[in-house]
Structure 1
Amino acid sequence: MFYIGIFIQLSLSAAVSSFSISYSPRSICAFENSSVEFSCTFDFPYGHTLVVSKWFKPRKDQKQDGSQQGMFVYHTDDAEIHERYMNRTTYANQDKNCSLKLHNVSRKDIGRYFFRFETNYWWGKYTGLGGIDLSIAVLPFRVTVNTQKTNREINEGDSVTLTCNTENCTPTQEAFIWFKNGRLLPKATEQTLRFSSVSREDFGNYSCGLKNSDTTLTTETLLDVRYRPHNVQIINFPSKEIEEGDSLTLNCKSNANPALTNYTWFKISDTNTSYIGYGSKYSLKTVSQKNAGRYLCVAVNDVGSQNSSVIELKVKEHSRLDFLLIATTVLLLGIAVTLIIFCIMKRRKQIASKKLPAEKTSTVTPTEEIYENLRNSLKSEEISTNLTYADLMLPPASSDRPHYSSQEDMTVIYSILSDREETKTIEQI
């Protein structure tokens, strides 16, 4: 009996070993409302007849190793199919092909699926081990940035990978598309976008999606590449000599990420380099010969620094001839202005003096004018009389002229004066 038991056990083991189920793939990621296919093949020993075929999904509270069948997704007997999967499956129904299509998948379908068959022998029952895991991708897609650095800061030269995925999983059976700043990257068709040595040119906003679906595009994700200042240059620099006395402002500009933290200015004289200031601008209110020389600026941020190219400032010295010419011009201009003002004032006085007599004449009546003339004539006569008396001189006693008595002399004089008054009075009338 002992040997018979061993023989039966070995026979059963050999029979069971000839039962097999093969799944492909072992895991599937699908979008909601899409269809998925569980590829499957099976085999059993010669002489067995297939009686029952079924796909099942264990419930959450059951073991997920296939030992507990749970809900039937497909069953040879339609009455055994769970209501959730009714009319949602298509079974291959071919010789030793157990493939199953599940339509209109949703998040409720997430889980592990197993195939099991039964033959006409009581020991001819077999469940495929491992099963197939189904995951549902929850849109929208998102771009994740992966780097080997722990602080998540990406500097120029680092290795970076961008991955296009969804919340639970990412379907890989379709081609992907990538966009940078809204522009299509035609060569990027994989789920991942890799940068072995990222550069400042890779800085930008990235989005992704499925090639044949515009509705799966992600929102933009910034690839923030940090880099030291570059293209440092001094602008507003004079292209020719600048003259003494002029003002000058130099600007230092650069591109950098993160933003620049400092600008430093240096002046090079012979072999000496001296610090002269800081800030993006360097100003000279009055340029002189001592400002002539070579200049450069240094831009600095958290990643590094870079120098501008060296530029040379040439200052033109004023000659004495130029100074005399300027002084003479200023002097002549001052004299001309003074003369113009003087002429204007003199002209105004002349105009004012001409206007005043005209105004007075216009207010005098004819009668008043006659009396005024008479007064003037009388005054002139008084003056003439006085002058006559003043000019009157008697001849000296020793003169050869004949002598008259004083009485006669006085009579003659008064007579002459009287005649003159009458004559003048008649002329005035």
Structure 2
Amino acid sequence: MSVRMAPPLPLIFLLMIHGVSSADWGVSYSPSHICALKDSSVIMSCTYKYPTGYQIKNMFWTKGPLQEGVEPPDLSEDPEYSQRLQYLGDKQQNCTIRLSHVTLKDSHKYYFRFTTDKDKWIGKPGVTFTVTDLQVESPERVTEGDSVRLTCKSSCTLTDRATFIWYRNSQLVTERRDRNNELLLQSVRREDAGRYSCAVHGHNHTSPAVELNVMYPPKSVSVSISPSGEIVSGDSVTLICSSDSNPPAEISWFKGGTFVGSGRIYSISKISSDDSGEYKCRSRNQHGEKYSDAVTLNVMYPPRSVSVLINGSGEIVSGDSVTLICSSDSNPPALNFSWFKENESSAVGSGQSFSALQSGRFYCQAHNQHGSQRSDAVTVTVKDAPKSVSVSISPSGEIVSGDSVTLICSSDSNPPALNFSWFKGGTFVGSGRIYKISKISSDDSGEYKCRSINEHGEKYSDAVTLNVMYPPRNVSVLINGSGEIVSGDSVTLICSSDSNPPALNFSWFKENENSAVGSGQSFSALQSGRFYCQAHNQHGSQRSDAVTVTVKERLVILYMSIGVVCGAAVVLTMLLVWRSRIKKRNDTLESQVKKMSLVMMNQSRPHPDRSQASDVESNEPVYENITMNRSRPHHTRRQASDVELTEPVYENLTYVMKEP
């Protein structure tokens, strides 16, 4: 539709003068209101007319607002339009144009103006041109299951019939819903959530995306473990709860049925076997809650709490055995066990059980691929008779007379032997585990052994020898002969002694002389004198008593021998005479004594039974035990052959009267 501008009064007057009416002028626009989509191309259809006989000099499009008395600008000369504006009409009736890539700033009133050789004309009221963009209208928040309507809106109604298309997350939504510019989502699902935008089919312009926020309770709740694979005691482990929910859910963690923490991530630093178990998370928002499936934390750890169980009392009799069983707590279970005797480095057995045959303290060591641990030791007691009985001597080494010596009896038995006896040879000498000899002497030398006794039996030790060392003693000199020698000969003196070890060093001395006169066990004496020897060993020395050696000259010996023989003959003769006289006197004395006895017997009281050979009753006493003391004759030496003999004198004659 074209609107002719009312010419000013001078122009009307001019037209009236020339016979031209306003009906001969006009501009028509179809349509007069255009709503175009941003970035689209718009055709403004236009026709015009002018009086016959007029010639078109110039034509162009301009935009408002128009100012009175000011020539409007030609859009084809405007840099903002020059590249986008295309004139499609002619210079007779068609004034159509195309405007490409329209923008929101292009929204104005547009007019067509032309000039003839006689007059000018502008077509009012022009074309009202509005450029619009697209906006998606949707509810801010919806809940899963609701019906949702999304509307693609523009600021004006598009002039051209438009086919709307929809995008979700930049992906075309192929199905068409309800009205042309609306998208209806019935029973909305969480999968329908996303960024929605709309566009007009055939146009590049797309509306800004609008987020459709679909609320729904937690779904697909699961737990993942990091690191995956085997978990060993001491590791750091993280549990992650994954949950699909809107709005995001609050996460809680449970071990078994016990709450242990919150948050999407549950971390365990330095995990231990106590942390083993089943874990699950709970995802909860205002629309509901859901638990994950349980996951199991199986914490591997080396053996611990290793202990030994004694199958029985732990006391056995020699020859029997006791079974020890090793138990441990480990993951995986220990399959490798070693047995040790305390204070010994080498294993004495393997396997979970062990048969102990001897006394001692035993422990086990349990192993798995993550480590090992040993148990405390347990005591196995084997009851047996004494064995390994032995004697030790203190001090060891050489024993010297006067030392203090201790014999100690050692015995291996269970129960320990409390009864110890000591024997020298086969003779009992003492009791107790320790036998002590103070100031030992050579008499203590010999073989000793001890006997150990407990309730299960007895055993003797091997014999040990006490060899007591002592210095020489009982040193004496033996004279090989009479000790009297003739001048020029010699007599052998032999030194003997008792010592341990035997004396090997002998020294000979002459009495009253300081220097030794000889050495060795024997000594040849050549001169008169008193000689002694001194015996030595490493423990001391002792000297003998002195012996006399007499050396005589040969002539003196001859004279002495003759004198001795003569003297012996004289003495023998005198003895024979003296003996004869003595015998005669003794006979006389005995006769007198007998007579005196008879007299005394007759004087004593009568004997009732006496009537013997002479039938004479005698009352004389009877004397017995008559003792005669004969004085020794005195010899007076005058000369070699003169011997004065005297009669024997009897003195102290005593008699005892015996009662009848």
Q: Between Structure 1 and Structure 2, whose CA radius of gyration is higher?
A: 2
Higher helix share: 1
Does 1 or 2 have the higher relative contact order (CA < 8 Å, sep 6+)? 1
TM-score (norm 1): 0.43
Higher strand share: 2
TM-score (norm 2): 0.30
